[in-house]
Structure 1
């Protein structure tokens, strides 16, 4: 999959309320797989952009109050730097995968503001100038469009979102600032609520540059091409860019020709939807190798959600995506480039 864009491409990635599966390289039985995995990850003709799945999240970077550790996040940062791939950074404020002390502490509005500011100043400051974009706030909304009652919201209400974006803009003025969430691939209450969130920030003069649609899709009930275009265009109409930030398409197991064809069509539709919306700037896959995917650890009876099987052969969806990109390129679209990114596994 060659990059067709001014920026390297994004990769598939997913976000769910549950902690993501974390794989380690310490097991010698996995070393052969990692060698093949790394060869694909480091191939810039496949992926031009990378995202850390876990290494920049609160649990890893501030495990104790005021104590910062960037070791895990720097693994992916170093890959991006070595390969001259764009680095997309994820995430500054999210209710899940928090360090235990954040949930346990007795907060006042003042101490919560101080903690958010300190966290963003340190984390975004550490990667300042290296991140093409930051997911500043992740999953602040429920599917019905109401605010998620996270620890941040319980203390500060929607003020925490304004504070996070305001502070991120100060700390890294050149990074694109995104709101990121799941179930934004079809018009409905949640898409409308994100629109209100964007307007809320802009009405107060707070910068927000983009909306990330995670796009964790299910092959047999994914939104149609038309619904995806409508949802993404609704964000573009607000004047912000949009990206598919965690794309994967899970299928019912066992794998068979029928569900692989369904999966291929969903990947094709999502890619085509992004290409049809002028302000859709890229696609991030939430990993590209089935053996390292989070999906089987969360959804019983489902899996095979990425583009490479456990044996490193490619899903039919891979060729489907390539064909869509080739057709788009042949149409001579010079106004923008498409990018597809690999989200490397946490080491």
Structure 2
């Protein structure tokens, strides 16, 4: 009897082992996805990838070419059970290519996406790879003013960016300072600079309540005369730059913060709720080929305001065949928010409408609560991570929705934020001495595939 029990137990063990073996043979391993490069230094970096169900380990290859024919010792074939790995003792200032695949005993997945990573030139020195050279599926823009189109500004603009926006010179109070008198002097200079340097111009912004000349605010004519004046202004301006300005923010910040309603402005008072629609129609009549955008702030996290934009502008325009090519999210954000998921979710609400998406005024505050007297390395790394997240979100949207990602100023001491915020901050990609910051590297990392 005892012998029979032994035979039965042995048979059961063999049967169970056979089931396990058969199950392992049926398992299909998906390819990991390398989604983050962090802790980038002169001789090291850390890579993270998605965990694969049923994987026991991961094999990594590091090479100096995208075909992986020149593998880097000792990382020709690294095996780890973790879903991250730190590469060390690498050459400074060199571009490496990384891939990973999942393993279950003898079974392996296909390789992940290939990720390119460029180490720093030396510890503390950020890579100076031009942003426009890496962002091949959308434009990289810069906001500037005319008196910064020379010297070091000019050198960096031409190296880094392929689109520019006027921070002030293409607004109504500058271009139409007095009734019956236009002044396009500064706008002409900026457009000419762009044309001479192979850049495109995004016009910012035709109608904005905060850049309305006093004579418009106090217009003495009838409502009909007011509307005719606005029509003449838009058509005159857009016609002047037809074929030279590829896109316009036609109306800027027309939805309020409280409940997603129309902001109370002189344009709303004199022309009614359909004034936004009229402005877009007039711009389209003046230039049928120009891309027309609505632009506003807080849209990347404020659902109430975004819903107001969608209902009052996007859906309204699409239902009534009013021209609208895209929406601009201004992206004035902080190192600690909004979250990447919030930005991605709100962005999708626009791209799902079939519209172009413009991340139009990017800067990332590191001192929103005024708890710093100078920039710190910890905050600079946090700023870098937030910039990377923003670029990753933008880079992941459908190709048909990509337009541009514009940075709102070149260097920290030229940002609008300290004067409005009332205290110091360092929100941009270059410091006051034109030195590349970690945030610039974060932008590059966000573009790596």
Shift of 1:74: 1.6
Higher relative contact order (CA 8 A, sep 6+): 1
| Preserved contact between residue 232 and residue 280 of structure 1 (Cα < 8 Å) | no
Shift of 1:261: 1.5
| Preserved contact between residue 138 and residue 402 of structure 2 (Cα < 8 Å) | no
Instruction: Tell me the number of residue pairs that the alignment of Structure 1 and Structure 2 aligns.
Output: 309
CA distance in 2, matches of 1:34, 1:127: 23
| Preserved contact between residue 251 and residue 302 of structure 1 (Cα < 8 Å) | no
TM-score normalized with structure 2 length: 0.66
Given the alignment, which residue of 432, 441, 445 partners 1:310?
Answer: 432
Q: Matched residue of 1:132: which SS?
A: strand
Q: Matched residue of 1:291: which SS?
A: helix
1:301 corresponds to? 423
Shift of 1:301: 2.1
CA distance in 2, matches of 1:79, 1:111: 36
| Preserved contact between residue 170 and residue 205 of structure 2 (Cα < 8 Å) | yes
Structure 2 residues without counterparts, runs of 5 or longer = 1-129
Does residue 288 of the first structure (1) align with residue 410 of the second (2)?
A: yes
Given the alignment, which residue of 139, 156, 164 partners 1:40?
Answer: 156
2:140 corresponds to? 9
CA distance in 2, matches of 1:243, 1:202: 18
| Preserved contact between residue 219 and residue 250 of structure 1 (Cα < 8 Å) | yes
CA distance in 2, matches of 1:94, 1:323: 34
Structure 1 window deviating more from structure 2 (108-117 vs 167-176): it is 108-117
TM-score normalized with structure 1 length: 0.85
Write out per-residue CA displacement over residues 141-177 of structure 1, whole angstroms, 9 at most, x where no aligned residue: 1123011001001122221101100100110111110
Given the alignment, which residue of 389, 392, 397 partners 1:269?
Answer: 389
Given the alignment, which residue of 296, 302, 308 partners 1:193?
Answer: 308
Instruction: Give the structure with the larger strand fraction.
Output: 2
Structure 1 residues without counterparts, runs of 5 or longer = 14-21, 26-32, 329-347
Write out per-residue CA displacement over residues 118-138 of structure 1, whole angstroms, 9 at most, x where no aligned residue: 110111111111112100000
Runs of 4+ in 1 over 3 A off after TM superposition: 22-25
CA distance in 2, matches of 1:122, 1:23: 21
| Preserved contact between residue 389 and residue 446 of structure 2 (Cα < 8 Å) | no
1:54-133 matched pairs, under 5 angstroms: 54-133=168-247
2:348 corresponds to? 233
1:219 corresponds to? 335
CA distance in 1, matches of 2:137, 2:200: 10
| Preserved contact between residue 138 and residue 405 of structure 2 (Cα < 8 Å) | no
| Preserved contact between residue 146 and residue 190 of structure 2 (Cα < 8 Å) | no
Larger Rg: 2
Given the alignment, which residue of 125, 147, 159 partners 2:274?
Answer: 159
Shift of 1:8: 3.4
| Preserved contact between residue 207 and residue 250 of structure 2 (Cα < 8 Å) | yes
Shift of 1:250: 1.6
Given the alignment, which residue of 297, 302, 322 partners 2:444?
Answer: 322
CA distance in 2, matches of 1:141, 1:149: 9
CA distance in 2, matches of 1:106, 1:251: 45
CA distance in 2, matches of 1:7, 1:215: 17
- Closer/same/farther in 2, CA of residues 107 and 190 from structure 1, 3 Å limit: farther
CA distance in 2, matches of 1:198, 1:265: 31
Write out per-residue CA displacement over residues 52-95 of structure 1, whole angstroms, 9 at most, x where no aligned residue: 11111011100011211111112221121011111111111111
- Closer/same/farther in 2, CA of residues 208 and 324 from structure 1, 3 Å limit: same
2:124 corresponds to? none
Shift of 1:107: 4.7
CA distance in 2, matches of 1:23, 1:132: 19
| Preserved contact between residue 291 and residue 325 of structure 2 (Cα < 8 Å) | yes
| Preserved contact between residue 139 and residue 405 of structure 2 (Cα < 8 Å) | no
| Preserved contact between residue 202 and residue 248 of structure 2 (Cα < 8 Å) | yes
Shift of 1:186: 1.8
Shift of 1:209: 0.4
- Closer/same/farther in 2, CA of residues 154 and 309 from structure 1, 3 Å limit: same
